[in-house]
Amino acid sequence: MQMALRIATKYASDSILDFIHLDNNYSIYELKVPKEWYGKSLSQIDTRKKYNVNILTVKRGENVFIPASDTVMINGDIAFVIGEVRDIQKCFRM
């Protein structure tokens, strides 16, 4: 059952790379950054205020780092986010 849920979730969107369900509501997702975010800083995107989703880390190439509010997202960035599943789905339009 868990494997079926995992496969269905990963294939529900091309942007989902991996995820960890923490409970029935909260999850951590590894997601490709949407094109609309390219060239924008995290303070401009403001996922916490707009969607109640927190960006934990960003993977850029082989480097993983905790982003600052002035971190500008670029093509190829991967975001590790935490929040309620429904909020993550809204934020990333899944």
**Domain map (residue ranges) of the chain:** 2-91
Between the CA of residue 83 and those of 26, 62, 75, 89, what are the distances in Å?
5, 25, 23, 10
Q: What is the mean pLDDT of residues 82-86?
A: 92
Q: Is the predicted pLDDT of residue 82 greater than 60, yes or no? A: yes
pLDDT at 66: 97
Decide which of 5 and 90 is more confident: 90
pLDDT at 7: 55
How open is the CA angle 14-79-36, to the nearest 5 degrees? 65
CB count in 10 Å sphere of residue 92: 21
Q: Which residues of 48-66 are buried (b: 16+ CB within 10 A; e: fewer)?
A: eeebebebeebbeeeeeee
The CATH classification number of 2-91 equals 3.30.70.1450
Q: Is the predicted pLDDT of residue 2 greater than 90, yes or no? A: no
